[in-house]
C-alpha cells in the first residue's frame, strides 16, 4: 500500500473521500448482515434441539411447544429476508 501525499488528501472533497471509502463500508455492512444470519442459524439449531427435548418428555407443554415452533418460523423468515436483502444490496458481479 502506498500512502497518498498529504496535500492530495486534504485537497480531496468529502464526496471523493466517501467514494474512496465506499467499498470498505459496503463490505462492512455485508459482513454485519452475514453475522446476523449466523446468529439466526445458531438460534434455529438451539431452538430445534429444545423442541426435540420437549417432545421427548412424558408431559408435553403444548403452549410452550407452539411458542418454540413460532420462534423457529420467525427465525426462518428473518433468515430468508436477510438473504434477500444481501442478494439485492450486494449482487454478485
> Confidence band (pLDDT; 50, 70, 90) for 93?
low
Q: Is the pTM of this model over 0.85?
A: no
Whether 91 is covered by a domain: the verdict is yes
Whether 4 is covered by a domain: the verdict is no
Please give the tally of structural domains in the chain.
1
- Write the pLDDT tens digit of every residue in 53-73: 999 999 999 999 999 999 999
What was the pLDDT predicted at 81? 94
- The number of CA neighbours under 13 Å toward the Cβ of 32 is 7
Instruction: Find the domain containing 77 and state its range.
Output: 62-93
Mean pLDDT across 21-39: 90
Whether 35 is covered by a domain: the verdict is no
- Write the pLDDT tens digit of every residue in 1-29: 787 777 776 677 777 777 777 888 888 98
Whether 76 is covered by a domain: the verdict is yes
Whether 18 is covered by a domain: the verdict is no
Whether 23 is covered by a domain: the verdict is no
Whether 14 is covered by a domain: the verdict is no
Amino acid at each position: 500500500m502506498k500512502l497518498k501525499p498529504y496535500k492530495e488528501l486534504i485537497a480531496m472533497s468529502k464526496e471523493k473521500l466517501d467514494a474512496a471509502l465506499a467499498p470498505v463500508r459496503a463490505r462492512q455492512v455485508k459482513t454485519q448482515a452475514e453475522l446476523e444470519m449466523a446468529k439466526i442459524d445458531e438460534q434455529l439449531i438451539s431452538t430445534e434441539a429444545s423442541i426435540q427435548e420437549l417432545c421427548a418428555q412424558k408431559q408435553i407443554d403444548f403452549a410452550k411447544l407452539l411458542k418454540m415452533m413460532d420462534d423457529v418460523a420467525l427465525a426462518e423468515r428473518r433468515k430468508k429476508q436477510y438473504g434477500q436483502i444481501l442478494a439485492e444490496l450486494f449482487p454478485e458481479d
